[in-house]
């Protein structure tokens, strides 16, 4: 184990150096609001998405250490994937927890994370985050408000929870070159916590009819691409469950005028990577896994390293050949990630392998799961 950690540390050093180099290159800024990609009009756009940001107490402690004991700095944790995220035309994350205030920060089971997470997500290149999860009500309406306020200050858009009814009824739309990309988000539950009194709109819950209606409304309002984030599935299960499979089938089958209502589905929650699959011609990521999380124990009470394995999805969209047709995914990729709990860093596994780290077994296990439902035959490839 010591030799392996040493190799990973060397790889991390190289990755962080590469990430730092990218920070100084303006042409690698993502295309989202305020910084459109010059090439988007000719080539469409590239969307990158990643899994759950779940700051356990050990993650909060690490961020305080990285900040030198004053405040919290989550940027070093994400530096290893900044080159992938910041080069995308639009990048979406999943903020699973809500933010606390004035040093009142907690991990499992009721999460309140430092708001500095939002600034780190922005610095890494994320343009937006889904915020609907089973932990959205861990600190009631106040937690939602602090979280969305912090994301707003950082310039990160958000979808899935809301401070007002008007906000809840307004789709999150990101301008990406010539395209309008709508981002919708929903969760299966809020751990049994009731929605705040008088605020039934505070968190979007999964309801098939509502999701389709929201997607159609976004399309009617001008969205060229509709992306749906779903916090769903069975924890610790590599395979998508029956609910995921049936919902993916019905949502991707929904059409208006022959055009699919939803163009991409991004799944979170299960703690482990799950398969990618093309369903009814639309890409579905059943589960991306936890991008940031502490060491976790599964339902059998066993420390499960799968909780620190995840993927980045990368999808290249091209404009329609004819008016009224959908934007097409012309390239679909996954980038395997691993959160090194010892170093407190997200690792791009293919970059780590290229730097000499002994992480092939972890990388190959993720690849096997991702491809387990035949996505390779539909063109999904592993990227760097």
d(CA 81, CA 104): 29
User: 324 pLDDT band (50/70/90 cuts)?
Assistant: confident
**Under a CB-based contact definition with an 8 Å cutoff, are residues 366 and 15 in contact?**
no
Nearest CA to 199 out of 241, 144, 243, 251 is that of: 144
d(CA 40, CA 191): 41
> What is the per-residue DSSP string for 104-126?
--B-TTS-BB-THHHHHHHHHT-
d(CA 299, CA 271): 12
Element containing residue 219 per DSSP (H, E): helix 208-220
Per the prediction, the chain carries an average pLDDT of 91
User: 319 pLDDT band (50/70/90 cuts)?
Assistant: very high
> Which of helix, strand or coil describes residue 10?
helix
d(CA 271, CA 287): 8
Q: What is the mean pLDDT of residues 140-163?
A: 98
User: 362 pLDDT band (50/70/90 cuts)?
Assistant: very high
Cα 23–99–294 angle (5° rounding)?
Answer: 70
Domain that residue 67 falls in: 2-382
Instruction: Read off the tokens for 128.
Output: 């937006």
What contacts 345, CB < 8 A, 6 or more positions away?
12, 16, 76, 77, 79, 80, 339
Task: Quote the percentage of the chain above a pLDDT of 90.
Answer: 88
pLDDT digits (tens, 9 = 90+) for 182-206: 999 999 999 999 999 999 999 999 9
CATH of the domain at 84: 3.60.21.10
Q: What pLDDT, on a 0 to 100 scale, did the predictor assign at position 326?
A: 96
DSSP code, position 203? B
d(CA 30, CA 81): 13
Query: CB-side exposure of 63: number of CA atoms within 13 Å?
Result: 28
Q: What pLDDT, on a 0 to 100 scale, did the predictor assign at position 284?
A: 99
Phi, psi of 136 (to 5 degrees): -60, -25
pLDDT digits (tens, 9 = 90+) for 162-177: 999 999 999 999 999 9
User: 340 pairs with which residues across the strands?
Assistant: 345
Question: How far apart, in Å, are the Cα atoms of 152 and each of 12, 145, 169, 381?
Answer: 31, 10, 17, 34
What contacts 138, CB < 8 A, 6 or more positions away?
97, 98, 110, 111, 112, 191, 193
User: 74 pLDDT band (50/70/90 cuts)?
Assistant: very high
Instruction: Read off the tokens for 92.
Output: 């979406």
The model's pTM is 0.90
User: 323 pLDDT band (50/70/90 cuts)?
Assistant: confident
d(CA 55, CA 120): 13
d(CA 38, CA 375): 31
pLDDT exceeds 90 at position 43: no
pLDDT exceeds 70 at position 383: yes
- Quickly tell me which residue has 């392996």 as its tokens: 4
Count of domains forming the chain:
1
Nearest CA to 344 out of 272, 292, 289, 285 is that of: 292
């Amino acid at each position: 184990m010591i030799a392996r950690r040493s190799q990973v540390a060397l790889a991390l050093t190289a990755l962080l150096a590469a990430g730092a180099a990218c920070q100084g290159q303006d042409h690698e800024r993502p295309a989202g609001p305020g910084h459109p990609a010059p090439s988007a009009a000719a080539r469409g756009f590239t969307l990158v998405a990643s899994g759950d940001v779940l700051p356990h107490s050990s993650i909060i402690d690490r961020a305080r250490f990285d900040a030198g004991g004053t405040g919290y700095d989550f940027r070093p944790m994400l530096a290893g994937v900044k080159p992938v995220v910041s080069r995308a035309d639009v990048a979406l994350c999943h903020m699973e927890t809500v933010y606390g205030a004035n040093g009142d920060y907690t991990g499992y089971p009721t999460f309140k994370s430092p708001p500095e997470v939002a600034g780190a997500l922005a610095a890494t290149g994320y343009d937006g985050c889904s915020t609907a999860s089973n932990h959205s009500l861990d600190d009631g309406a106040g937690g939602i408000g602090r979280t969305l306020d912090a994301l707003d200050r950082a310039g990160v858009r958000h979808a899935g929870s809301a401070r007002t009814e008007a906000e809840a009824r307004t789709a999150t739309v990101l301008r990406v070159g010539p395209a309008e990309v709508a981002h919708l988000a929903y969760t299966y539950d809020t751990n049994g916590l009731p929605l705040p009194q008088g605020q039934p709109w505070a968190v979007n819950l999964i309801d098939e009819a509502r999701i389709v209606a929201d997607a159609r409304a976004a399309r009617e309002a001008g969205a060229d691409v509709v992306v749906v984030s779903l916090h769903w599935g069975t924890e610790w299960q590599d395979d998508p469950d029956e609910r995921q499979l049936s919902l993916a089938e019905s949502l991707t089958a929904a059409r208006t005028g022959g055009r699919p209502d939803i163009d991409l589905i991004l799944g979170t929650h299960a703690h482990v990577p799950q398969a990618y699959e093309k369903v009814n011609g639309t890409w579905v990521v059943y589960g991306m896994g936890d991008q940031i999380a502490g060491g976790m124990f599964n339902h059998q009470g066993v420390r499960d390293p799968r909780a620190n394995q995840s993927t980045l999805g990368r999808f290249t969209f091209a404009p329609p050949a004819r008016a009224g047709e959908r934007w097409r995914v012309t390239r679909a990729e996954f980038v395997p990630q691993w959160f090194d709990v010892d170093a407190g860093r997200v690792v791009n596994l293919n970059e780590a392998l290229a730097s000499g780290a002994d992480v092939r077994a972890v990388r190959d296990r993720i690849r096997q799961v991702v491809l387990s439902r035949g996505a390779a035959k539909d063109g999904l490839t592993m990227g760097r």
